[in-house]
Amino acid sequence: MRKLYTLLLALILGSCGPAPETESSAGTQARNGRPNIIFIMSDDHAQRALSAYTDELTETPNLDRIADGGMLFRNSFVTNSICAPSRAAILTGKYSHINGKIDNLSPFDPNQWTFPEALHRAGYRTSLFGKHHLKEIPHGLDEYRALIDQGDYYNPTFVHNGDTLAPTEGYTTTLITDYALAELKRNAESDQPFMMLYWHKAPHRNWMPDTSDLAGLLDKRYPEPANLRDDYAGRPAAANADMRIADMFVSQDLKVLKEYEPNDPGTGGATFWPDGTKYMAEYFYREIDRLNPAQRAAWEPFLKRVGEEWQSVKGTDQELGWRYQRYMQDYLASVKSVDDNVGRVLDYLEESGLDENTIVIYTSDQGFYLGEHGWYDKRFMYEESHRTPLLIKYPEQIEGGTTSDALVMNIDLATTLLELAGVEVPADLQGRSLTPLFNGTTPDNWRDHIYYRYYQEMNSFHRVARHEGVRGERYKLIHFTEPGFEGYELYDLREDPQEMENRIDDPALAAEKERLQTELRELRRELKVTD
């Protein structure tokens, strides 16, 4: 029996090919061709803030390396544009109404199937570092070091494999990367394939840049979007929403201290909540109190200048423009830190030789408004928050610098990764594998419409009315189902890419209206939407 075992082992090892020449290639060969996976995700990263898509606002040279070495998806969308439901959709490969995580308040069942657990069962070492936001730790993770809820930008508290740690001193984006790199170095010395979820908090609200990026930040200026002063004509749900930059918290969002503005005039999306403004102003002071002496010393001159500028523009015609610049300065500096730290990971992959056999994905849990329609935040099915960045690098199958215009979704990622790893894909997953797109062409049988659904009650943050909709290559139909806001909106994305004109009653688009309403009914039936 021992001789038979030895013979079988020799045959198995021999099938891996000739002996490798280097330690790093040895690890690659010993994984039997199964690719490693690094799934990088940020929070609220708009496509327009990633220079692989457009350089009108900022440069992201390290994230662009993923696109340069792989594929950029121009039409990547989420099923439900809000943090926790989007993450649940990614992990399960299923829409919110199937996985049960319909909004940030509903529970997530950690016992349900997820792609990390499937990879774990198939022999992968699995890990998660950063923002998880689903409270219950999903099964099948060998290493888990995640923030509590949204986490903090400075000196955060992590949960490590179920144990809550003391606050860790440092900047959160950098700390998450430190932990990810330590895991990568461990994995580089092992023959076991790995899958890492490297998930950042940034650039989620309240956008606190690293101290290293504060110098000169207040002098930066960004072009205003053409519809910054949108009047929401013909769009009652948009008019009702509380997510305007003009109504941001001056404290929490724009960093004005009480000594410069004792009575915060903002609503910050909390108009439904008694004393919400007071609470959020105090929240900002809790963030300031987290800073250590060196961090606080770096922030003090910055906050002094912000306060003085606020006092000079408050109540003038310049106030909205100043608010916009203040928002963009902090948001884009938070993006820069993500880009800098992703660069550290990409550098290590190249130095270690892991890059040739590692799939690298970059995406965000959803898009975000950068002043379009006068807004920040997400939730709506309008393009800026419905879209999300998606870049995939895998030298084995994707030629560098390629693009895809196909309609793809965040639920497609689980199916794609299982297929690439050679793991069976459950029949009930609702996403499609993206691998047929890797050669730069779109199959004839690819989806031509996508379904969207936003569930959170309007009597919550930002007052966004519940809605669902369907989007094709050119036209989009949104159906608002919130009592008091029931009705449809129809947009021609080719003629009106900023979605300023609701053409639901335009006779010229009557046929499109009927066709899209039929498409919406058919997609609801196909996807088992019952309410």
Residue 207 near residue 325 (C-beta atoms within 8 A): no
Q: pLDDT tens per residue, the chain (531 residues)?
A: 333 333 333 333 333 333 333 334 434 444 568 999 999 999 999 999 999 999 999 999 999 999 999 999 999 999 999 999 999 999 999 999 999 999 998 999 999 999 999 999 999 999 999 999 998 888 999 999 999 999 999 999 999 999 999 999 999 999 999 999 999 999 999 999 999 999 999 999 999 999 999 999 999 999 999 999 999 999 999 999 999 999 999 999 999 999 999 989 999 998 877 766 666 678 888 999 999 999 999 999 999 999 999 999 999 999 999 999 999 999 999 999 999 999 999 999 999 999 999 999 999 999 999 999 999 999 999 999 999 999 999 999 999 999 999 999 999 999 999 999 999 999 999 999 999 999 999 999 999 999 999 999 888 899 999 999 999 999 999 999 999 999 999 999 999 999 999 999 999 999 999 999 999 999 999 999 999
* The amino acid at 146: A
φ/ψ region of 93 (left if φ > 0, alpha if ψ in -120 to 50, else beta) reads left
Evaluate the CA torsion angle 391, 395, 399, 400 in order and state its sign.
positive
Structure tokens at 253: 């969002």
What's the CA gap between 1 and 287, in Å, rounded?
A: 65
Length of the chain: 531
Rounded Cα–Cα distance for residues 157 and 167 (Å): 4
Question: What's at 250, amino acid-wise?
Answer: V
End-to-end CA distance of the chain: 60
**CB neighbour burial string for 75-114, b if at least 16 within 10 angstroms, e if fewer:** ebbbbbbbbbbbbbbbbbbbbbbbbebbbeeeebeeebbb
Q: With DSSP H G I counted as helix, E B as strand and the rest as coil, what are the percentages for the chain, rounded to 5?
A: 35, 15, 50
245 strand-pairing partners: none
Query: Residue 223 has what DSSP assignment?
Result: P
> What is d(CA 86, CA 253) in angstroms, rounded to the nearest whole number?
24
All domains in the chain, ordered by first residue: 56-207+334-440 (3.40.720.10), 231-330 (no CATH), 452-526 (3.30.1120)
φ, ψ at 485 (rounded to 5°): -130, 15
Q: C-alpha distances in angstroms, 55 versus 20, 59, 223, 258? A: 42, 6, 12, 36
pTM, to two decimals: 0.93
Residue-level pLDDT at 271: 83
Residue 33 pLDDT: 81
Q: How big is the CA angle at 373 (ends 81 and 447), to the nearest 5 degrees?
A: 40
Bond prior to 206 in cis (omega within 30° of 0)? yes
